[in-house]
Amino acid sequence: MDEITITRLGHRGDGIADGPVFAPMTLPGEVVSGKLDGDRLRDLRIVTPSDDRVSAPCRHYKSCGGCQLQHASDAFVADWKIDVVRQALAAQGLTAEFRPIVTSRPQARRRASLSVRRTKKGAMAGFHAKGSDVIIQIPDCKLLHPDLLAAIPVAEKLALIGGSRKGELNVLATLSETGLDIAVSDGKPLDEALRLALSAETETHKLARLSWDDEVIGQREPPLQRFGKALVAPPPGAFLQATPDGEAALLATVQEIVGSAAQVADLFSGCGTFALPLAERAEVHAVESDAAMIAALDLGWRRAKGLKMVSHEARDLFRRPLMPDELRRFDAVVIDPPRAGAEAQVRELAESEVSVVAFVSCNPVTFARDVRILADASYRLNWVQVVDQFRWSAHVELVAFLTRENV
């Protein structure tokens, strides 16, 4: 058995010792022993525990790969996630004021991607084990909203109907205001018999909607999500913030940054998470590459009452970013890119005269890279709000407030 001392956590939440050697479910300062397998320590035993170590609240934690940090205190995780962002900024020569972190409650997740497989005796649904393709069942999950756990037996039944013994079914389950919204991928090809069987399951389980490889099979009611005063039915599999708590924290921060701006651009707008609530006080132009999401946003805006004008366009901002002359009319810009960041759009924003930017990010590394571009163009990074929407995970989200210094 090898004995090592953990010096830090990596970005995926694993403890790291000199070497480097990676040890899951460990904390800085802990002395641990185990069998060295390449650069990973297996069969771990904690010799000297950290003061920040706590008992995991979920009985599935040791085997399930859905969470990485249930063994750490909330205070430790909060400080660590803020430090992840701080270090990413420091690598770009940047500093910022950090506001206190906002963390989603346990059992708040309204969306989950379930792995499902047929077995000799039936089917099983859950999350993968840590570092494995083995499916771990999660009947007492402390991450998912209790109402979302109802998707597990639905997913297992769908696997029996349309899954293959040779592969996994992926079932994306989302809570909506009208019931469960289920989107399935990697199942059997659709034929008439499968369509009929799936349609019957929509009624049996009273699903709001069931789609199979992006084709809607059955819809009892539109699977509505509320964005401010608007109700929106996103297309199957469309992006949605993972928890209502996290969404509310991100939105409140964006609204604070935008303030009294009369003309706002919402870039990478999705189905209107920010654009529609912002339209209660400002005219908004929403830009998103997915035409179906833009159509859902537009319909939600048209049916809502008391909103100002929301214009929109389906546009790939990686290939066709808004140019400085197009940005000229906006008092503020909200930008919420995917993990790859928004380097092309940010370079055009840096050349614009926009005075206020609310930068939402789910990747501290690409965020810091993009903010460096803005900082070089006389934007000031005023403060950062870290949001721990994915509780007990290594995932970090944030909103940053930037202003142009010469305006």
Q: pLDDT above 90 covers what percent of the chain? A: 94
How far apart are the C-alpha atoms of 126 and 180, rounded to whole Å? Answer: 17
Residue 349: its pLDDT value, please?
98
CA distances from 300 to 122, 224, 334, 359 (A): 40, 9, 19, 24
pLDDT digits (tens, 9 = 90+) for 296-355: 999 999 999 999 999 999 999 999 999 999 999 999 999 999 999 999 999 999 999 999
Structure tokens at 380: 């000031």
pLDDT digits (tens, 9 = 90+) for 94-114: 999 999 999 999 999 999 999
Within its chain, how far is the Cα of 229 from the centroid?
Answer: 23
- Count CB-CB contacts under 10 A for residue 141: 26
Catalytic residues: 362
How far apart are the C-alpha atoms of 202 and 209, rounded to whole Å? Answer: 7
Residue 165: its pLDDT value, please?
79
For residue 159, give every residue at least 6 positions away whose Cβ sits within 8 Å of its Cβ, in sequence order, or none.
Answer: 116, 117, 118, 123, 125, 169, 171
Nearest 5°: the CA angle 74, 93, 373 is 105
How far apart are the C-alpha atoms of 65 and 126, rounded to whole Å? Answer: 10
Please, which pLDDT band fits residue 406 given cuts at 50, 70 and 90?
Answer: confident
pLDDT digits (tens, 9 = 90+) for 198-245: 999 999 999 999 999 989 999 999 999 999 999 999 999 999 999 999
Please, which pLDDT band fits residue 362 given cuts at 50, 70 and 90?
Answer: very high
Please, which pLDDT band fits residue 2 given cuts at 50, 70 and 90?
Answer: confident
Q: Is the pLDDT of residue 195 over 70?
A: yes
Structure tokens at 222: 């539109």
How far apart are the C-alpha atoms of 359 and 352, rounded to whole Å? Answer: 15
Q: Is the pLDDT of residue 179 over 80?
A: yes
Residue 164: its pLDDT value, please?
83
For residue 3, give every residue at least 6 positions away whose Cβ sits within 8 Å of its Cβ, in sequence order, or none.
Answer: 31, 32, 33, 47
Please, which pLDDT band fits residue 263 given cuts at 50, 70 and 90?
Answer: very high
Residue 71: its pLDDT value, please?
97
Per-chain mean pLDDT for the chain? 96
Beta strand 332-335 pairing with 356-361: parallel
Residue 140: its pLDDT value, please?
96
CB contact at 8 A, 124 and 116: yes
pTM of the shown model? 0.95
